[in-house]
Structure 1
Amino acid sequence: MSDAPETSPTEPNASQPPAPEQPWQLVTFHGTGGEYFRIWIVNLVLTLLTLGIYSAWATVRERRYFYGHTEVAGGRFDFHGKPLQILFGRIIAIVLLIGWSQGALLHSAIPFISAAIVLGLLPMFLVRALGFRLRHTSLRNIRFGFSGKISDAYKALWPYLVALLIAAAGMIYVGNELLAWSADVEERNEQRYQEELETEEAEHYLEESEAELSEYDLTESESEGVLSPDDGWAQQSSDDMDMPEMEEFQRLMGFYGLIMITMAFIFPIFICDVRNFTTRHSQYGRSLFNVDLKRGKFFEHFWIAFGISIAAGLVIMIAGGIVVGIGVAIVLGLGLEFDGSPLMVVLMILAFVFIYGLMIASYMAAYAYWRGRIFNDTFNTLGLGDIEFRSQLSVLAYAKLWVINTLLMVVTLGFAYPWIKIRLLRMQLESIEYRGDSDQFISHNQVHTNAVGDEVGEAFDFDFGF
């Protein structure tokens, strides 16, 4: 009889090697610029011809193209949303945003009311729009979903809503005050213009009077001493009128700057919390995504991007001074004068384009750094059941692509947009990797497909487009 211990068939054998880890797999994107250009140009023409109404159908066509050309685990995404729902939500969004941005032209209270509605209902808009998009997205016949409730969104975001409401009210106040200030300055300028006209008429009258007085041998100095106005007093009065205008403008700009600095400290933390909330309530089948984004990281990424833009601004100032200096040297070397000649106009335009192009490129580089960092942070902490994700996006290459794409947009007057969007999407999507047994995961969730697709309240499930 053997002394070897018996092993239960369900217990793993210690002598067996551990199961090998699943290999990392890549997301694949099959879209091309030529294919998307045909969709984009038709959408653009029809949207213009219908005064924007067709944009909802254009959105559905684009999403179906991009989703259908993105491959994960041997399957491709699909979008099932209806254009009318997108159109209705978009109309609501446009009305509110027009009231916010242009309502002051009708009444000063309209922007405050619109901002209060937009920001006060922002959690509802967020939940509705994300719920619409996810519930109408599928992969291998399994729908995505969103379990977050409007009450959950308010609990997670209410401090930011208060800050945004205060900041929006302050910015609207500054905007209204600037409009009033501008109208007041225009009125003063008109008044000064009228005074100048009256002065010119008076001088003309004096000239005629001098001619008449000369007939009676009255000297020129005597006539001036008796009849000419005190030009020095007039100039001093004009200068005194400019001081209150400048002080008011500086006060408004200082208040606006304070608002922007305050929001700059809040913005990265707000984005982090929004991403945590939306991702943790997103699901595939019955399985919830999980993510662990840190506020400190987002704060760090934002201020590094801000530093990049400031440093680039200083470089642009130096480069602009060099360009202007070279232009002046060329003009003087050719013996030309700064008299608005065609060559001078061309040089000024080239200098402006060069400096403005550098400004846009620096902004795009900073923006790409911010987006690339939070993209990597999101996917490097993302999980779905036993499936892990990671992102290998090179922030430097991503920023370089943004700068090049911006220049292409300018040179081609926007017609390079389809190729630009395809290049950006391909770089982002094909940097994502995942690891896990996706086949078992999908078969586990297959039985729950119908539960996720429950569309109670479909009529109020809009994609607001914010």
Structure 2
Amino acid sequence: MNQERSGGAAGPMSTFMPQAIDAHPVEFTGSGGEYFRVWIVNVLLSIVTLGIYTPWARRRTAQYFYSHTLVAGSPLEFTAQQRKMVMGFVMLMLLTIAYNIAVRTGQDTAVGLFLLTGAALAPFIWASAMRFRLAATRWRGLRLQFTASWKEVYIASWPVFALALVWFGVFFGMQMLSPDLAQALEAVEEESSKAPMPSFTPAMGGLLLLGLVLSILCFIRLEYNFKSLLVLKAQLGAEKGRWKPVYMDFVKIWLATVAVFILCVVGIAVLVGVLAGSSIALMASQSERMGLWMIVVGIVSAVVGFFMLILASAPARAYREARMFQLMWNNIGVSHVARFKSHLKSGSYVGLRIKNMLLSLLTLGLYRPFARVSEYRMKVESVTLHVKGGVEQVAGAMVRQQQGALGDALADAAGLDLIG
């Protein structure tokens, strides 16, 4: 693990001489009220145009958050071409429509080809989107670049193909463990109603559990590979990204997230049990009006169950987001020129997310822009940029290192806004 950590942290030798380190807290100058005006226009125009306005809405949103995020006193800029965002959106919509038509018309071969093609192109889509987003991000005249080759992207994507192999193995393993299952599948293909009910054995349960565990590990590894590749192959001027986390850091966060989720489920189950017990006692005391109470309790139970289902996963999702944010921003930098530190508190972020979720539900979604701004502010303002030497000197040297007009043209030509 130490070798992996030290290997990941290594990067190209910086062209800057060691100097005093200056700290620059990141600031966010936006407000919920300002963003609400951007958000409500985006929502209304997206509804009126049946979703066609989506790429314009995404660009306006990105420009708002970028322009109000100050790094060392200078705002970020989002310079993406609207035409390329529209092209990416149209391509995705056409593919989605074609896939849905294939599913609804029972074209199993076409559906299978869509799924296989989608899996094969997933790394390309991700890398294209990252190339587009980084090329569209500027700070003090500096453009970010994603320099990974397609070979590096597909090598980092091996968990996608490992996941497919895992479930091929599970599928064939289940057939070997239960001959009845194979016969049932054959009967389904032949549209026969005489299919025997397959028996479920402990061995089959163990195989399914193994498949689920391996799938989760593959997802975690894919997230780790993509994030590390994104940082290590990101470039600012001639300076490349620096990366310290290892795979087990991601596994620990996921394990802690599962523990938080279990605690939330147990706590909510206890609360539901208490409420159900109180309802039963109340109905017992009102036996003559039992029918009315049954209807009321049924409606209340359905509503409460829906909210509880959302609440059960919200703290775990917020906890994972906060921990991952801490891990990333405490362990990445720009070569040996700059590094970041985050003091984000997981508990505070979880509390903010729960409050925002409840207020969004109570206001039927109208509080959502205020929630988004408050969460973004808490995360961004927890980050401090530490730079060796003055920002003016370092930024000026990076601008001189940056590629010229040809490099800018190539960066503009690379990638599409293919994922949200």
Which bracket does the TM-score occupy, shorter chain normalised? 0.7 to 0.9
Q: Distance in 2 between matches of 1:124 and 1:331?
A: 60
**Structure 2 counterpart of 1:288, one-letter code:** K
Q: Distance in 2 between matches of 1:430 and 1:254?
A: 46
Aligned to 1:263: 215
Matched, 1:455 2:409: yes
CA contact (8 A) 1:268 1:299 kept: yes
The alpha-carbon distance between structure 1 residues 32 and 102, as it changes in their structure 2 partners (threshold 3 A), is farther
How much has 1:274 moved relative to structure 2?
1.0
CA contact (8 A) 1:115 1:168 kept: no
The alignment covers a number of residue pairs equal to: 384
Aligned to 1:329: 281
**Structure 1 counterpart of 2:320, one-letter code:** W
How much has 1:359 moved relative to structure 2?
2.8
Q: TM-score, normalised by structure 1?
A: 0.74
How much has 1:255 moved relative to structure 2?
8.0
Alignment partner of 2:21: what SS? coil
Matched, 1:441 2:391: no
Aligned to 1:204: none
Unpaired segments ≥5 residues, structure 1: 1-18, 192-240
How much has 1:441 moved relative to structure 2?
1.2
Structure showing greater radius of gyration is 1
Q: Distance in 2 between matches of 1:455 and 1:369?
A: 41
Aligned to 2:178: none
Matched, 1:359 2:312: no
CA contact (8 A) 2:129 2:416 kept: yes
How much has 1:260 moved relative to structure 2?
3.7
**Structure 1 counterpart of 2:253, one-letter code:** H
Q: Distance in 2 between matches of 1:254 and 1:381?
A: 38
How much has 1:326 moved relative to structure 2?
0.7
How much has 1:258 moved relative to structure 2?
5.7
The alpha-carbon distance between structure 1 residues 458 and 138, as it changes in their structure 2 partners (threshold 3 A), is closer
Aligned to 2:333: 383
Aligned to 2:14: none
How much has 1:245 moved relative to structure 2?
6.1
**Structure 2 counterpart of 1:425, one-letter code:** Y
Q: Distance in 2 between matches of 1:246 and 1:166?
A: 24
Pairing partner for 2:348 from 379, 388, 397 = 397
How much has 1:345 moved relative to structure 2?
2.7
RMSD, aligned CA? 3.4
How much has 1:279 moved relative to structure 2?
0.8
**Structure 2 counterpart of 1:464, one-letter code:** L
Aligned to 1:43: 42
How much has 1:167 moved relative to structure 2?
6.3
The alpha-carbon distance between structure 1 residues 74 and 162, as it changes in their structure 2 partners (threshold 3 A), is same
How much has 1:34 moved relative to structure 2?
0.9
**Structure 2 counterpart of 1:454, one-letter code:** D
Write the mapping of 1:196-235 to structure 2, written as runs, cut at 5 A. Answer: none
CA contact (8 A) 2:92 2:418 kept: yes
CA contact (8 A) 1:112 1:169 kept: no
CA deviations over 1:314-361 (Å, ceiling 9, x no partner): 22222222211111111111234542x2x4333333333334323322
Q: Distance in 2 between matches of 1:57 and 1:167?
A: 40
How much has 1:457 moved relative to structure 2?
7.6
Q: Distance in 1 between matches of 2:100 and 2:383?
A: 38
Pairing partner for 2:266 from 302, 314, 317 = 314
CA contact (8 A) 2:132 2:414 kept: no
Aligned to 1:286: 238
CA deviations over 1:206-261 (Å, ceiling 9, x no partner): xxxxxxxxxxxxxxxxxxxxxxxxxxxxxxxxxxx9x966969x999998766443
Write the mapping of 1:66-465 to structure 2, written as runs, cut at 5 A. Answer: 66-97=65-96, 103-106=102-105, 107-157=107-157, 159-166=158-165, 259-339=211-291, 341=292, 343-385=293-335, 386-436=337-387, 437=389, 438-451=391-404, 453-456=407-410, 458=412, 461-465=415-419
Q: What is the percentage of aligned positions where both structures have the same residue?
A: 25
Q: Which has the higher contact order (CA 8 A, sep 6+)?
A: 2
How much has 1:95 moved relative to structure 2?
4.0
How much has 1:168 moved relative to structure 2?
7.8
CA contact (8 A) 2:339 2:385 kept: yes
Q: Distance in 1 between matches of 2:167 and 2:81?
A: 33
Q: Distance in 2 between matches of 1:67 and 1:289?
A: 20
The alpha-carbon distance between structure 1 residues 251 and 462, as it changes in their structure 2 partners (threshold 3 A), is farther
Unpaired segments ≥5 residues, structure 2: 1-17, 175-180
The alpha-carbon distance between structure 1 residues 460 and 28, as it changes in their structure 2 partners (threshold 3 A), is closer
The alpha-carbon distance between structure 1 residues 171 and 334, as it changes in their structure 2 partners (threshold 3 A), is farther
CA contact (8 A) 1:372 1:398 kept: yes
